[in-house]
Amino acid sequence: MLLKVLVDNTTFTGHRFDGGESGLCYYIEDDGHKILFDTGLTDLFLRNAKVQGVDLDQVDTIILSHGHYDHCGGLKYFFDRKRPVRVICHPETFVKRVRDGLDMGPSLSLEEMQERCELIMTDKPYQVTSHITFLGTIPRKLEWEGKKNVGQLVVGDKLLPDYINDDSAAIYKDEYGVFVISGCAHSGICNIVEYAKVVGESDNICGVIGGFHLLKLDEQAERTIQYFKDEMITNVYPCHCTCLPVKAKFFCEVSQYKEVGVSMELHWPPEFVG
């Protein structure tokens, strides 16, 4: 698997790119497939892809981790025309959502997406390639990760609490184990890892990349880091919605911590797999 970071909150010094933003977008190659995992907030992913030599006209699949604007905002720029692309996401991804009166959802509606692509909406695990699986609904079993209300869902004329039930992730499985690819981890990064073990039929989680949604170094962050140590997950790539103090703690506590930023390339498996 080849993974290139097209959008993240952080950029790497000394590399060519058009900038970073509060959002996430990965370009992934596997089994001859060209995949986008999320699309960031704006059209930045298009510009960074061009700089990094990625031909987005070759993309055949988009995986959406959840329906927030900083992960689905780029859809309208990608689908400026109908494309022969399948989009895989949770059934609640395109539910209208707001926070403080602002639209928090994707840049295209469900109806617009249905007109522009092959839309696959599933709450069950879905095989994307022979190695990559979309996880669907993440069971939230770890009480200390909790369910946090992030804005409101617009259902008819009612505003309901939004617990981001559509938050999902993907896994890459090979002979080395299971590698987890997270978007924002509203469902809890450890809940995601636990479900990745179930879907991947392996307790060997060899790496995790993505947003961990740890915005401060609090009890949840401390328990998350301890969980990663207990599970012996050594290849850890926290980014996007993971604050600097949490990243620093991971750096001190986890042997194979890796920094993530726009222009990073991840080749999996690496020469060393912990």
What single DSSP character describes residue 57? G
Find out whether 87 and 93 touch, Cβ atoms under 8 Å: no
Give residues with Cβ within 8 angstroms of 258, minimum separation 6.
235, 236, 237, 266
Length of the chain: 274
Find out whether 17 and 49 touch, Cβ atoms under 8 Å: no
State pTM to two decimals: 0.96
**Residue spans of alpha helices (H) in 126-215:** 189-200
Give residues with Cβ within 8 angstroms of 3, minimum separation 6.
26, 27, 28, 181, 209, 265, 266, 268
- Sign of CA pseudo-dihedral 127, 128, 129, 131: negative
| pLDDT at residue 271, rounded to an integer | 61
189-200 and 219-230 are packed helices; what angle lies between their axes, rounded to 10 degrees?
A: 30
Measure the CA–CA gap between 76 and 52, rounded to whole angstroms: 21
Domains of the chain: 2-265 (3.60.15.10)
Measure the CA–CA gap between 223 and 61, rounded to whole angstroms: 35
Which helix (DSSP H) or strand (DSSP E) does residue 61 occupy? strand 61-63
Q: For every one of its 274 residues, what pLDDT tens digit does the chain have, with 9 covering 90 and above?
A: 999 999 999 998 777 778 899 999 999 999 999 999 999 999 999 999 999 999 999 999 999 999 999 999 999 999 998 889 999 999 999 999 999 989 999 999 999 999 999 999 999 999 999 999 999 999 999 999 988 899 999 999 999 999 999 999 999 999 989 999 999 999 999 999 999 999 999 999 999 999 999 999 999 999 999 999 999 998 999 999 999 999 999 999 998 899 999 999 999 887 654 4
